[in-house]
Amino acid sequence: MLCFCYIWYNKKFEYMGNMIQSAYALFYIRDMYINHVTCGIDDNGTPVYYEQFPQQLKILYGGRSGYIYTVINHGEIVSGHTNGVWISTQPIKVASASFIKNVYDEIITAESSGEIQIIRYEDLSEEKKLQTIEMICNSILKHKYISNDCAKSRFIRENFSEAWNMAEEKAKHP
């Protein structure tokens, strides 16, 4: 059995999750217009979420609801581009569905039980925070978010103001 958040994206179904833990799929019950996911699977198979700004988890997942689906893979689902992400080009029969009323609350419960690990922004080193600012700045420039008023650009401007300001300066003086 595979547990997934089931998303139609880029002309294919993406099933986010892994063989054992449905907790990883929680991170993919997200706003696809913002599409800011900062998690992965560590060497021990534990899902790890990395906050890149204060209260990131609460901002992205607080009050969000959705479903996690359990499917049986008969070979239609293949490993995707990222560890723990599975894809199919066709619909897959759902064996069961679990409604998640508040994704943030479920994530905190999964953290408390040891199913997932959360690296909070406040615990990041100053070096890691600066690396994140630089990475987000480069993304802003690459995707031309400064001149593109969309949900993603507004999200970045609101939550990564330092990176946004840096990108504006770099755009003025290429």
The Cα 81–Cα 155 span in angstroms is 25
Does position 20 have pLDDT exceeding 70, yes or no? no
The angle formed by the CA atoms of residues 37, 43 and 44, to the nearest 5 degrees, is 105
Residue 155's identity, in one-letter code, is F
Burial class of 147 by CB neighbour count within 10 A (0 to 12, 13 to 18, 19+):
exposed
Neighbours of 28 (CB within 10 A): 23
Does position 132 have pLDDT exceeding 80, yes or no? yes
Does position 154 have pLDDT exceeding 50, yes or no? yes
The first and second tokens of residue 160, run together, are 């990564």
pLDDT band, residue 89 (cuts 50/70/90) = confident
The first and second tokens of residue 70, run together, are 């359990």
Mean pLDDT to the nearest integer, 83-98: 75
The Cα 140–Cα 62 span in angstroms is 25
**41 neighbors 64 (Cβ within 8 angstroms):** no
